[in-house]
Homo-oligomer: A and B are copies of this chain.
Amino acid sequence: MQRMQVTGLELFYRNGYYNTSIDDILKELSLSKGAFYYHFESKEDFFIQIIENLLVRKMYSMLIEPIEGHENTLDLITQCFEEALETAVHNEFDFGFVLSNFISEFNGKNETIMKHLNDILRIWEVNLVSAVQRGKFNGYIDRHVDSEGVAVYLMSSYIGVRTLMVETAPSARKYRFMSQLRQYFKSLEPKTTTV
């Protein structure tokens, strides 16, 4: 059952949800339809369980927990993005950002699943916002900065660069992205001109 979910996520990620048949997954595992429908109600139910069990965990470990510390927020985020992108660069079978790929696929087609995906997005956003607020409180970020704005901008750029890194020069694009991210972050630091 755990194996089914892991393999399911792999194939759904690689080929998309609608373009991956249950038979594909079962063939990979040498299992039968009977085994599948004994454990899961439907393909949709199967996918939702994958989201809840695997995708959420992955998001936490890669993009949320790494920025939870009390050190310099901007450094934490920089390092977090750096590592996440580096993982993608070295992944031979990278097909973009899992979450945003699924959002693109289900948007306007399956409201139930979209709700689950948006939940994850919101968790990410909330954590980014409070990280920025922490940074302001600790004096690493100028206190006039709009925390929600920074969060949206960070999520946007990350989602986008992961799409751009698909297939065309991922390493170069990662490098350029990170260097501009640092440039942007510099503009968020407290104005030293303030007395």
CA distance A157 to B14 in the complex (A): 24
Q: How large is the interface on A (under 10, 10 to 19, 20 to 34, 35 or more residues)?
A: 35 or more
Q: Which chain B positions have C-beta within 8 A of A181? A: 153
* Inter-chain contact A118/B163, CB cutoff 8 Å: no
Per-residue 0/1 for A10-40: is the Cβ within 8 Å of any B Cβ (1 yes, 0 no)? 0000111011000000000000000000000
A146 interface contact, C-beta 8 A: yes
A18-B19, A19-B18, A105-B104 known; A148 vs B167 contact (CB < 8 Å): no
A103 interface contact, C-beta 8 A: yes
Pick the contact of A109 from B19, B105, B121, B157 — CB < 8 Å? Answer: B19
Q: Which chain B positions have C-beta within 8 A of A188? A: 183
A158 interface contact, C-beta 8 A: yes
* Inter-chain contact B166/A152, CB cutoff 8 Å: no
A114-B167, A152-B164, A160-B158 known; A108 vs B95 contact (CB < 8 Å): yes
* Inter-chain contact B149/A180, CB cutoff 8 Å: yes
Pick the contact of A146 from B103, B114, B149, B176 — CB < 8 Å? Answer: B176
CA distance A176 to B153 in the complex (A): 8
- The chain A residues found within 8 Å of chain B, CB to CB, are 14-16, 18-19, 93, 95-96, 100-101, 103-105, 107-109, 114, 118, 121-122, 146, 148-150, 152-153, 155-161, 163-164, 166-168, 173, 176-177, 179-181, 183-184, 186-188
Please name 27 pairs of A and B residues whose Cβ atoms are closer than 8 Å in the assembled complex, sorted by A.
A15-B108, A93-B108, A96-B104, A100-B104, A100-B160, A103-B163, A107-B167, A118-B167, A146-B179, A149-B177, A149-B179, A149-B180, A152-B161, A152-B177, A152-B180, A153-B176, A153-B177, A153-B184, A155-B160, A155-B164, A156-B157, A156-B158, A156-B160, A159-B164, A160-B163, A183-B187, A184-B184
